[in-house]
Structure 1
Amino acid sequence: MPASEGGCWVWTGATTDRGYGAIRNRGKVEYVHRLMAEGYGMKIDGATVDHLCRNRVCVRLSHLVTCSREENTRRGNSAAWRAAVTELMDEMNGERN
């Protein structure tokens, strides 16, 4: 899957009304980023899979981390967290010197 701006691997299939990549699996809607994380060995065990890039259709493993729902919400509401992660993501993607 080619990387887009920001280095994200963008899911181009179906999405939920909240903008997450999704598929139907045995009659159940599943988030693609969670399936990717599980499929490549990330231990989820009921945790939230957070998009560090804040891009809900990104399925790139280096952009995904597990955390609690509370932590995910706190991160999403924190301008300082978003700024720090944006800088880190830019460095990871070679967009800064």
Structure 2
Amino acid sequence: MRVDKDGAGGCWIWTAARGDHGYGTLQGDDGRTVGAHRFSYELHHGPIPEGLLVMHSCDNPPCVNPDHLSVGTHADNMRDMATKGRQWRQGKAS
């Protein structure tokens, strides 16, 4: 299995391939790389509406727990980042 469901905070950690930013990846049926969190969201909640992102309430990139995933716009994601104090300042995350 590619998921460890015993992660801190209830996170389900993707244990297979990860991209440069720590998000889990897998290869789709068409050969394209798919985000593991996006795959998990669609598996448990249905299709992602066009133009929306899958966001993590846990702020843990390798997490694929569907209870930690929601959809929103880019603006929603930026607002969430700012609210949680994760914005970039002078080349570093705060």
TM (norm. structure 1) is 0.74
Verify: 1:4 aligned to 2:23, yes or no: no
Q: Once structures 1 and 2 are overlaid, which stretch shifts more, 12-21 or 43-52?
A: 43-52
4+ runs of 1 displaced by more than 2 Å? none
* Aligned partner letter, 1:79: K
CA deviations on 1:23-71 (whole Å, 9 max, x unpaired) are 1222211001111111123441121110000001101011001111111
Question: 1:54-93 residue pairs with structure 2 within 5 A?
Answer: 54-79=59-84
- The equivalent residue for 2:37 is 33
* Aligned partner letter, 1:5: A
Report sequence identity in percent.
Answer: 32
Q: Secondary structure at the match of 2:45?
A: coil
Higher strand share: 2
**Which consecutive residues of structure 1, in runs of 5 or more, have no partner in the other structure?**
81-97
* Aligned partner letter, 2:84: A
* Aligned partner letter, 1:48: L
Q: Secondary structure at the match of 1:40?
A: helix
Within 1, Cα distance between the matches of 2:84 and 2:8?
21
TM (norm. structure 2) is 0.76
State how many pairs are aligned.
80
Higher helix share: 1
